[in-house]
A and B are shown apart, each in its own frame.
Chain A
């Protein structure tokens, strides 16, 4: 039984990764959105390095949240529309683990690429080079929480008429804590206060989401299948 659950989990992650890689550069779209959103800010608020340096970490984090939200419809909507969700409900894998597998695949194709390109964006907003590792590490441990919290909203809005907009409205308030502690970690390190407390809280948020989000999203999916 345990081996069949593990096998099913691996099959889910593999297939979602395969779909993301084959379907016209979905990773490229998310990263492109992220980069463009960050690049827009200097045009809006002026190119003075002092101003950018002051708000840079916040800009990168906000852009990451928006990029994550823009890709949430990928999580369940396709499988809900084409009947694949029925098969997942009837599979050997408990639905909570199905959600976890899909979140893992989602993070590998959104959160991880965003984290990888973030040092380049930090240079665009002229962030202090010493704060860049803090920003990257914050994104690395914070973005899994974004995928997990997003899964709840994506599952709840299945069958709604404008699921994308609705899930953004639902989930963005819940993205405030990761935003505050993620950007706060960079601020704190720049102010020489140490980023440890912020990063611990950020990690705790992702871990808590890792436990609670699969339960909540699975309940919403059961409802959507009925």
Chain B
């Protein structure tokens, strides 16, 4: 599945975070967070609003820089070669990046082009999230749930081993959620890894849970000693 990125991906690959701290403006959101995400693994981030779930996912995607701590991929610091690490990552945030004027098919083809891969999996991706019927409508006609399905279809359209999903089930109906669960299971069976933030219980086997609230307390303590 990951023939394009095999050079940097083996079944022994792991994403490791050591002592991560995240600062947003003046505030330390969390501190002292370490985690280990092996091939085939799943990480579920829970915590109250503002506890830093989204920030942690953006840190793992290298969209944010950690205030302290390291990210390691295969034992090597990601900061040394961020470009080839980024080619392994799918980040799906709250915002879906869907343009109203173009169609779902064109959107997926653009995303594939942006990652430098052939757009030959577009049909499969549309089918995986049942978007064939609306594939050639302008995206402005899509509902919120359909737009979310389109964002998730990117996971299938462009193979990449690390999926970082920020509340992926928001706006999804029961069928959409089932399709996502199936996609995640197939991805992990093929050696892929997934980390996602959620408020809803979701049927994921053998997942490691991280409660961000615990690290927020550590951050408050660190903040108190700092000032």
Query: Do A225 and B102 touch across chains, with their CB atoms under 8 A apart?
Result: no
A-contacting 9-mer, from B61-69, B180-188, B217-225: B61-69
- Sort chain A's interface into a size bin: 20 to 34
B73 / chain A contacts, CB cutoff of 8 Å: none
Query: Do B97 and A86 touch across chains, with their CB atoms under 8 A apart?
Result: yes
Query: Do A8 and B114 touch across chains, with their CB atoms under 8 A apart?
Result: yes
Interface contacts (Cβ under 8 Å), in number, total 86
B163 at the interface (CB under 8 A from A): no
Shortest beta-carbon distance from A98 to chain B in Å: 9
Interface residues of A in 17-31 (CB under 8 A from B): 18-19, 22-23
Interface residues of B in 49-87 (CB under 8 A from A): 61-65, 83, 86-87
Shortest beta-carbon distance from A15 to chain B in Å: 5
Shortest beta-carbon distance from B25 to chain A in Å: 11
B121 at the interface (CB under 8 A from A): no
B94 / chain A contacts, CB cutoff of 8 Å: 83
Shortest beta-carbon distance from B170 to chain A in Å: 13
Query: Do A4 and B97 touch across chains, with their CB atoms under 8 A apart?
Result: no
B117 / chain A contacts, CB cutoff of 8 Å: 4, 7
B2 at the interface (CB under 8 A from A): no
B109 / chain A contacts, CB cutoff of 8 Å: 11
Shortest beta-carbon distance from B58 to chain A in Å: 8
Query: Do B102 and A15 touch across chains, with their CB atoms under 8 A apart?
Result: yes
Chain B residues within CB distance 8 Å of chain A: 61-65, 83, 86-87, 89, 91, 93-99, 101-102, 106, 109-117, 138
B102 / chain A contacts, CB cutoff of 8 Å: 15, 18-19, 22
Known: A5-B116, A11-B113. A226 touches B99 (CB 8 A): no
Chain A residues within CB distance 8 Å of chain B: 1, 3-5, 7-8, 10-12, 14-15, 18-19, 22-23, 78-79, 81-84, 86-94, 225-226
Query: Do A11 and B110 touch across chains, with their CB atoms under 8 A apart?
Result: yes
The 7 A-B residue pairs with the shortest CB-CB distance in the complex, in nearest-first order: A4-B116, A11-B113, A83-B95, A92-B116, A84-B97, A22-B101, A91-B114
Report the Cα distance A22→B61, complex, angstroms: 32
A84 / chain B contacts, CB cutoff of 8 Å: 97, 99
Query: Do A8 and B115 touch across chains, with their CB atoms under 8 A apart?
Result: yes
Query: Do A90 and B86 touch across chains, with their CB atoms under 8 A apart?
Result: yes
Query: Do A7 and B86 touch across chains, with their CB atoms under 8 A apart?
Result: no
* 12 pairs from A and B in contact (CB 8 Å cutoff): A3-B116, A7-B113, A15-B110, A79-B97, A82-B96, A82-B97, A86-B91, A90-B91, A92-B115, A93-B114, A94-B83, A226-B64
Query: Do B87 and A87 touch across chains, with their CB atoms under 8 A apart?
Result: no
Query: Do A226 and B63 touch across chains, with their CB atoms under 8 A apart?
Result: yes
Known: A15-B102, A82-B97, A82-B99. A87 touches B116 (CB 8 A): no
| Known interface pairs A82-B95, A91-B115, A226-B65; 12 further A-B residue pairs with C-beta atoms within 8 A, sorted by A's residue number | A11-B109, A11-B113, A11-B114, A15-B110, A19-B101, A23-B101, A83-B96, A89-B63, A89-B86, A91-B114, A91-B116, A225-B63
Which residue from chain B places its CB closest to the CB of A90 in the assembled complex?
A: B86
Query: Do A83 and B114 touch across chains, with their CB atoms under 8 A apart?
Result: no
B91 / chain A contacts, CB cutoff of 8 Å: 86-87, 90
Report the Cα distance A155→B217, complex, angstroms: 36
Report the Cα distance A94→B110, complex, angstroms: 16
Shortest beta-carbon distance from B168 to chain A in Å: 14
Shortest beta-carbon distance from A129 to chain B in Å: 40
Which residue from chain A places its CB closest to the CB of B64 in the assembled complex?
A: A226
